[in-house]
A and B are shown apart, each in its own frame.
Chain A
Amino acid sequence: MYSDEILERFKNPKFSGKIKDADAVGEEGNFKCGDIMKIYLKVKGDKIKDVKFETYGCVAAIASTDIMCELVKGKTLKEAYKMSNREIVDGLGDVPSVKVHCSILGTRALRKAIEDYRQKK
Chain B
Amino acid sequence: MFVITARAVPWVAAVMPEVKMKSKVYLDNAATTQVDEGVLEVMKPFFSESYGNASSLHSLGGAAKKSLEKARKVIADSIGAKSEEIVFTSGGTEGNNLALKGVAFANKDEGNQIVTTKVEHKCVLESCKWLEKQGFNVTYLDVNEEGFVKLAELEKAINEKTILVSVIHGNNEVGTINDLMKIGEVCRKKGIYFHTDACQSFTKTELNVKKMNLDLVTLNGHKIHGPKGVGALYVGEGVKLDSWQHGGFQENGLRAGTENVPGIVGFAEAVKLAMGSKHIVKMRKLRDKLIKGVLEKIPDVKINGPTGEKRLCNNIHFSFRFIEGEAIGASLGDKGISSSTGSACSERDLKPSYVLKALGLSHENMNGSLRLSLSRFTTEKEIDHVLKVLPRIVKRLREISPCGKEEEEHVF
Q: Does B402 contact A (CB under 8 A)?
A: yes
A37 to B410 alpha-carbon distance, docked (Å): 11
Q: Does A11 contact B (CB under 8 A)?
A: yes
Contacts of A38 in B (CB 8 A): 402
**A residues 36-58 in Cβ contact with B at 8 Å:** 36-38, 53-58
Q: Does B344 contact A (CB under 8 A)?
A: yes
Q: Does B37 contact A (CB under 8 A)?
A: no
A16 to B400 alpha-carbon distance, docked (Å): 6
Interface size for B (C-beta < 8 A) is 24
A55 to B327 alpha-carbon distance, docked (Å): 11
A10 to B399 alpha-carbon distance, docked (Å): 13
Q: Does B13 contact A (CB under 8 A)?
A: no
Q: Does B323 contact A (CB under 8 A)?
A: yes
By CB atoms of chain B within 10 A, which of A18, A54, A56 has the most?
A: A56
Contacts of B348 in A (CB 8 A): 98
Known contacts A33-B344, A34-B412, A35-B324; is-contact A13 B330 (Cβ 8 Å) = no
Shortest distance in angstroms between B20's beta carbon and chain A's nearest beta carbon? 13
Q: Is the CB of A55 within 8 A of B400?
A: yes
Contacts of A16 in B (CB 8 A): 399-400
Closest chain A residue to B326 by CB distance? A58
By CB atoms of chain A within 10 A, which of B326, B345, B412 has the most?
A: B345
Known contacts A33-B345, A34-B344, A34-B363; is-contact A13 B400 (Cβ 8 Å) = yes
A57 to B346 alpha-carbon distance, docked (Å): 11
Contacts of A27 in B (CB 8 A): 402
Q: Is the interface of A mostly helix, strand, loop or mixed?
A: mixed
Contacts of B323 in A (CB 8 A): 56
Q: Is the CB of B367 within 8 A of A33?
A: yes
Contacts of A102 in B (CB 8 A): 345
Contacts of B295 in A (CB 8 A): none
Q: Does B401 contact A (CB under 8 A)?
A: yes
A62 to B8 alpha-carbon distance, docked (Å): 35
Q: Does B14 contact A (CB under 8 A)?
A: no
Q: Does B322 contact A (CB under 8 A)?
A: yes
Q: Is the CB of B350 within 8 A of A98?
A: yes
A102 to B400 alpha-carbon distance, docked (Å): 15
Contacts of A36 in B (CB 8 A): 402-403, 410
Contacts of A29 in B (CB 8 A): 410
Q: Does A7 contact B (CB under 8 A)?
A: yes
Q: Is the CB of A17 within 8 A of B399?
A: yes
**Residue interface mask B379-412, A partner, CB < 8 A = 1:** 0000000000000000000011111000000101
Known: A29-B410, A32-B350, A33-B350. 9 other contacts (CB 8 A): A7-B330, A32-B344, A33-B344, A34-B363, A56-B324, A59-B326, A59-B330, A62-B400, A98-B350
A-B pairs, 7 with minimum CB distance: A58-B345, A54-B402, A33-B344, A38-B402, A58-B326, A16-B400, A59-B330
20 A/B residue pairs, CB under 8 Å, sorted by A: A7-B334, A10-B327, A10-B330, A16-B399, A27-B402, A34-B352, A34-B367, A34-B412, A35-B345, A35-B367, A36-B410, A54-B401, A54-B402, A55-B400, A56-B322, A56-B410, A57-B324, A58-B345, A61-B345, A62-B327
Residues in B lying within 8 Å of A, measured CB to CB:
322-324, 326-327, 330-331, 334, 343-346, 348, 350, 352, 363, 367, 399-403, 410, 412
Residues in A lying within 8 Å of B, measured CB to CB:
2, 7, 10-11, 13, 16-18, 27, 29, 32-38, 53-59, 61-62, 98, 101-102
